[in-house]
Each structure stands twice: as structure tokens, then as C-alpha cells.
Structure 1
Amino acid sequence: MIPNFNNRYSQMNVQSVSEECKVCSVQTSSTHLGMDICRACASFFKRVKTKERKFPCRRGDWSCATANGGVLACRGCRFEKCVSIGLEYKGPLRPRRKATVSILHQIKTESKASFERRREQELMMIRKHGLHDRLPHPSEQELYEMHQDTCNEIYRIYLVESQTFFRNVFPEFASLSRKEQDIILKNYMCVLGIVEGYHNSQRLWGKAKRYVSCSAVTCVDVEREYNGLEHFENGRLVVSVARSFTEEQQERFLPIFERSKIDEREHYALMALILSEQGETQTCLHSSNLKIVDSELSEEAHAILDRYQLEVLEELQLYYRNEVGLKEFSTRLGNLMSLNHVIQECRSLLKVFMRFYTTMFDVFITENSLKEFLF
């Protein structure tokens, strides 16, 4: 393999001329919007301005830290910081793509087809394995408790099918570089799994919190007492951490999820809206906090993300007006955006837990596709 000397030179050159972003304090090597700010903050400011969005302060006093490494980023204070240093953007909105098919209908069709394919593959594997405990369910459909022997293969099935779903529903991303496609897809599959898991749990078990859906046909019994763990190295520690992770994620997500009472159409909309947070947050490896980081995505990538989001929101407004009969629907849209934001927080928790899990068991030595997804 030929070394990329140009890239090495570029990295050395960046280090020699880097300045601090005036908004989030990360190192940046060039100006954006005429000021010393990083690309992530410039993109954030432009998106807020062009879409005329308004964010409240998370704490209510407009004094949240915006520096990299602070606690969970407050978008309201981040935008106010941009304004206070004199940032301006008066550019035009990006041209929108012409949709030939309803994106929400496409999400519905593709997600159902993907789920059925996953279900068939999982059942075939579980029946062959023969050691899964079947869970009782009023409908008598086949549901099983997750088993250590097959969880990696089930995860692989999910990754493959999610990629197919993503490319069929969001074809515009094919015009981006492979690196950008991988970044967007990797982040999307993580949050998509969270949305699907809670939606499927509610569909199967209602408000019961004992079982959490992990895949098309497997669940975790959070109340189960595991015996014989003393025979496995660090067994009790892993179960304890997994249970704590599940409880913390449920504490964050379930209250707003249950309060929102989203219907099927809103669920499909949420499956698209979770794309919109790309490049604004990153997992902190030592805690569940999030950091503001310099985005790795181009302006073209952000423009595509914005167009999909706008298309979904416009379809939702038509649905609220014409099919639900609502004149005022800001609360329902606000619930979806709040769900979107808390899902990004859950993504951070999930990645921290998965890194712990893979470190304990070293399970991804040969599973390169899974390793690339999480790291």
C-alpha cells in the first residue's frame, strides 16, 4: 500500500496554523463565514438560519457552556453564541429534490419488508440453534429470549438489512463520497435500532417494561435473575452493567415516548428525522455526555439531510391537516423533535455500553463489519 504523504503533510500543516473556534473552542485550520469558527459550528448556524429554527435553553438560564468537552450540548446557547460573536449568513436555501413517491409511504413499505426478511432469517437460525427460551405471548407468535450464542449473528442480519433499507429509502446519499456515506449510515443504523426496539416493544408488550425488544424475534427479560454466573469470568459484572444501561436508557426515553403517543405515520416520520442530527454530536468514551465536534460531513451532505427533513415535515403537516383534521399541530411536531433529540442521547449510551461489552468479550476480532459500525 502506497503511503499518503500528501495527507501527512496536510495534517502537519493544519497543526501549525490551527486556531480555536470562537464558538466551541475546538482547533480549526480555516475560516468559515468570514470568522475563526469550525466547519461544524458554521454548518449548524447556516442550517438554523435557513430553516428559521428556534431552540430553547436546556437549563432555562441561557448560560450553558458551548466549549468542546462540556456537558450535553445546548443548541439554544450554541446558536446564541454564534450570534453574539457577530456571525451572519444570508445565503439562499438549497434547491429541493422533486419527490415522485411519498417518503413516508416508502419508509413504511421498505421497513415492513426489511423486518419480515429479518424475522425469517432469525427464526431459521434460532430453530437450528435450539437453545433459546421461548417467551409467552398472547398472540402465540414466536418470540425468544436473546441468547449469547446467536446475538452476533442476529446483529449482523440487522446491519445487512438496515443498509438495504437505508439505500432504498434515501438514494440521494449515493452521490456522496464513500467516507461520508459510511459516516451517515453508521450513525443512522445505531439510532434506527433504538427507535425500532422501543416501537416493537410497545407493539408487543404495551406499557409493560419487563421485556425489551432487541431484534425481530428476540427480547431481553430485564427482571430475570441469572443463575450460575459464577462459572463465567466477569459474568455478574456484565449483567449488572447491561441492566444499568437498560434502566438509564428507559429513564431517558420512555417518559417522553409514552407521553407523545405517536401513531404509525409519526413513527415512520421519526425513522427519517433521526437522520438530522448528523455531525453535531459525538460519544464521549468516559461518560454518557456528548461533545460538540468538527463535522466530517460536507455542505452537500448537510444539504441532502436538510432536504429529507424538510420533505418529511411537509408530509407530516399535510397528514395532520388533511387526515387527522388538526389546525394546530406544533405540539405533535415538537414531541417528535424532542424524541429525536433524546434518541441521540440514547445513541451515546448504547455505544458506551457496546464498547464495554466488546472489551469484556473481545467479540469483534473476526466481525469487521460490526467493529466498523461501533468504532
Structure 2
Amino acid sequence: MTTFLSTADDALIAEYDNEDDEEMYNNYYKDTKYQLLDEAIIPTNFNAQKEVRECRVCSDRSDGAHFGIDSCRACAAFFRRSVVMSKTYVCRQGGNNCVINKSVRCMCRKCRMRKCLEAGMLPENVQNRRDPIIPRRQDENNFHQIASSSATDMAITSPSPSENESARNLFVNTPSVNFPSYPPLKCNVDEPSLLIKIRDGYRNLCAVRRGIELSMNPESIKDFFSQEMDSEKFTPATTRKCTQFYRKHMPSISGFVMDTFDDFRSLEGDDKRNIFHAFLPNLWTIDGAYRTYKLYSENRIDNFSKYMITETTYIDLENLDLFLADAPTTKTSKSNLVSMMKQSLNGPKLKALIYMKEISITEEELGAVIALLLWNPNIDNCSPEVSNFIRECRGKVFQQLHLLYKYNKLDNYAERIGDIMCLFTCVLHQTTRMREDMELFNIFDVFAEDSFIYNIIRQ
């Protein structure tokens, strides 16, 4: 049962009322610890321990329930102050989507207040005069009725310590993108739902990969401390650079899968490798589509000219010579390679990107598609036991989508589920075409110097 702020708690929070937000921001640099991981600078402490409850606003350690949710005292004090004083804030970045976490929670008060409300903090529970508060119980009946309406009990996963020894933490934060269709899932249960866990894990994955890429370019050091990267600072990709980045990304991707999907950790080693190997090309496909979708606004996406191949590099669709500049040309001319590349990147082969725009995909729905791609029923060389296990894991994803749509009061969500499955199919089809193209490029020795990507993509 969720309880709310008591008089004693309220008094303790008062200690934070005079908190200097700028001082908290300055402390960020001395509180962050780094270690060297495979030539990439990445902070440590990727996951909180399972027994530690986190603040729903900034992900710092929570000390209990305040105003209806688990939160730290700093965020509770900020929320109480803002409500009591009727504060009105303006987003410093102008996009109303700044990253809020324990390291930079004070950078933008507008986005911090927005996240407090989205996380479930209740303004009506703030006591202006700090008078005695009678514990009140939030009405959670709707949530439990929805959960019980599922055909089977919904599986709620919780974070657990990583079995991967590599440190994978957020170095630079990729800001979340606000989509108009459905707000983030607000959940009153103790542990986060699977879709929220995937969403947060994917945000961290993108941030870690971005940090890896920036660390390989000394000229980009200043971009480590920016909340988002100006699109003008993205650089053209080349085959060699893309291969280097993908190789460096591997520890963070494997860490994302191990840390986010508890069911994956329970598999045997060979089954893990088989599923992960099949998952990687599909992840690359949906990665590129989603990055490009975020880069272009809805009224420009139909005429996009840059396809984001990694977190900081793009393929210029109007100048493919740049991408193939360092590709071997021992068996064919550069012009022939460019011609083949144009055929590889024509409209139908980028359908996943266009479909994301058509359905205005949310971050939670993206997480569902990523989970379905991991638990792909078409994986080869799976035993009957593993195939049944994959089917069970997919069932959990659909249960989570059911809960997401019902909780957001989308009663007739059959069409939306159909859209998600169409996107899933688009990604699989696009990956299949990519495999075919890679075989063609391999014939002409494009991967003669480094076959890392080809070896992963080929079946």
C-alpha cells in the first residue's frame, strides 16, 4: 500500500528547501567515476542493486514514498516547493524533453517538474502549511482491475545485478523524445514494468554508444557534456568507421540484453549466443530507423537525405561516395559500388523508418518491438524447449502492451497492435534484404580488410 508524506517526512524535506541547484550540478563532475572499457571511457555503476529502490523522477536512491511515489528527498522538496509557491518554469533548452537524472536533475526545472507529474506525484498531497497529514491511500483499483483482466498473470520483471563484468553506465544522456500519441506508462506497482525497463535500458544503451563514438574522436570532447548533439555535428559514416564503431558497441549491447531481459540470463550459453547473434542485425535495423526518425520532424521525414547509421554518423543518401570512400575496390569500380549502394538504400528497403512516422511510435512501443525482435520465433537451430521458452517470453511482451494500452485508456487497441506487428515485420524484411546486399558486397571484396559486420549479418 502506498502511503504519503507524513509530518516528520515533510519536516525533513524542508532541509532541502534552500538547496542550491547550481551546487548540485557542480557536484556532478566530482561524483562521476570512470573506468577504461576496451578503449572507450564509460562511467561505472551501470545498474542499481536489486534491493535498492530508485527515485521515480531522477533514479537516485529513494528513501520512501513522497506525494504518491518513491522519490528521493531532493525531488520531493523540489516538487513541494514548486507547488506551494506556484512556480512557473521555462525549459532552458526549449524542447521540454531534457534528460532528468541524479547527475543533472537540476539543469532544467521545467522538465524536472514535468517528470515529477508524469511519474505520479500528486499536487493535492502537498501541505502548504505543513499541518498534520492524515495518511491517505491512492486509488489503485483501476490499475489492479486492468492487470487482473489479462488472460494470465502479467510477469513483472525487476532489475538484477548484471552477469556481464563490463561496466556500462550513462556517460552522456540521450534526451527522450516526446510523442503525441500515448504518454509514458504510469505504474503504481513497486517494480517497473518490462516496457519501462526496456525503455530506460535502451536510453542508456544509446547514451553509452554515443559516449564510445565521441571518445574515439578527440575533437568531440566538448560534446560529452551536452544533453543532446546538434545535428550539424553529426559526421558522414564510412565503411571502416562504421565497422570500428559496431565492434566497440558490442559490450554495451550485450550488457543491455543481459541487464534488461531477465529471461535471457536464464538461458544456456549456446542458446544465448544463438539468440543474440540473430538479434544483432535486427537491432541495427531498428536502431538506424529510430535514430533517423528522431532526427527528422514529421513534416520532413518523407524527404530525408541522411540515414543515421550510428549514434553520431550518418549515410548521406545523396552522396554515397562518402560512405564508400575507404572501401576496397579490387574487383569493381567505385562507381559500381555506389550504384549497388543506391539500390540497397532505396525507399522500400527503408520502410521501417517510414512506418515509424506513420504510426508515431512511442518509446514504450519501440521497447516492445525490440523485445519481439529478441524473442524472434524464426531463429534457426533452436530446440523445442527453447522455442517454447521464446513463445512464453513473447506472450509477456503482449501482456505488457495490453496493460500499456488499457492503462492509457485505449480500449480499442487491436489496430495499434496490428501496427506494431507490421513494424516488426518491416524490420525483419529489411534485415533480410540487408543480408542479401551484404552477400553481394562481399563478392566484390568490400569486407576484405575487415569482415566483422559481414560475419555477424550472414546467417
Q: TM-score, normalised by structure 2?
A: 0.51
Which residue of the partner structure matches residue 374 of structure 2? Answer: 275
Corresponding position: 1:363 with 2:458: no
Shift of 1:96: 8.2
Structure 1: 5+ residue runs without aligned partners? 1-92, 130-136, 281-294
Contact 2:290–2:353, Cα closer than 8 Å, also in 1: no
User: CA separation in 2, counterparts of 1:275 and 1:300?
Assistant: 17
Structure 2: 5+ residue runs without aligned partners? 1-150, 159-191, 221-227
Please give the secondary structure, in 2, of the residue aligned with 1:361.
coil
User: CA separation in 2, counterparts of 1:107 and 1:349?
Assistant: 27
2:360 to 243, 252, 261: 261
Corresponding position: 1:374 with 2:458: yes
Which residue of the partner structure matches residue 236 of structure 1? Answer: 335
1:220 to 308, 315, 332: 315
Q: 1:362 to 1:246 in 2, by over 3 A?
A: closer
Please give the secondary structure, in 1, of the residue aligned with 2:315.
strand
Contact 2:293–2:356, Cα closer than 8 Å, also in 1: no
1:351 to 428, 431, 435: 435
Contact 1:279–1:297, Cα closer than 8 Å, also in 2: no
1:111-130 maps to which residues of 2 (within 5 A)?
A: 111-127=202-218
Partner AA of 2:413 in structure 1: F
Partner AA of 1:119 in structure 2: R
Shift of 1:349: 0.9
**Residue by residue, what CA displacement relative to the aligned partner does 1:313-346 show, whole Å, maximum 9, x if unpaired?**
11222221222x2110000000001111121111
Please give the secondary structure, in 2, of the residue aligned with 1:297.
coil
Corresponding position: 1:99 with 2:183: no
Partner AA of 1:197 in structure 2: G
Which residue of the partner structure matches residue 329 of structure 1? Answer: 413
Which residue of the partner structure matches residue 338 of structure 1? Answer: 422
Partner AA of 1:226 in structure 2: D
1:8-87 maps to which residues of 2 (within 5 A)?
A: none
Contact 1:249–1:349, Cα closer than 8 Å, also in 2: no
Q: 1:254 to 1:105 in 2, by over 3 A?
A: closer
User: CA separation in 2, counterparts of 1:278 and 1:298?
Assistant: 12
Which residue of the partner structure matches residue 180 of structure 1? Answer: 271
User: CA separation in 1, counterparts of 2:417 and 2:391?
Assistant: 16
Contact 2:209–2:252, Cα closer than 8 Å, also in 1: yes
Q: 1:117 to 1:255 in 2, by over 3 A?
A: closer
Name the one with the larger helix percent: 1
Which residue of the partner structure matches residue 404 of structure 2? Answer: 319
Please give the secondary structure, in 2, of the residue aligned with 1:363.
coil
User: CA separation in 1, counterparts of 2:403 and 2:447?
Assistant: 47
Contact 2:157–2:262, Cα closer than 8 Å, also in 1: no
Partner AA of 1:347 in structure 2: T
Corresponding position: 1:304 with 2:389: yes
1:147 to 234, 238, 261: 238
Q: TM-score, normalised by structure 1?
A: 0.61
Partner AA of 1:264 in structure 2: E
Contact 2:352–2:430, Cα closer than 8 Å, also in 1: yes
Q: 1:271 to 1:166 in 2, by over 3 A?
A: same
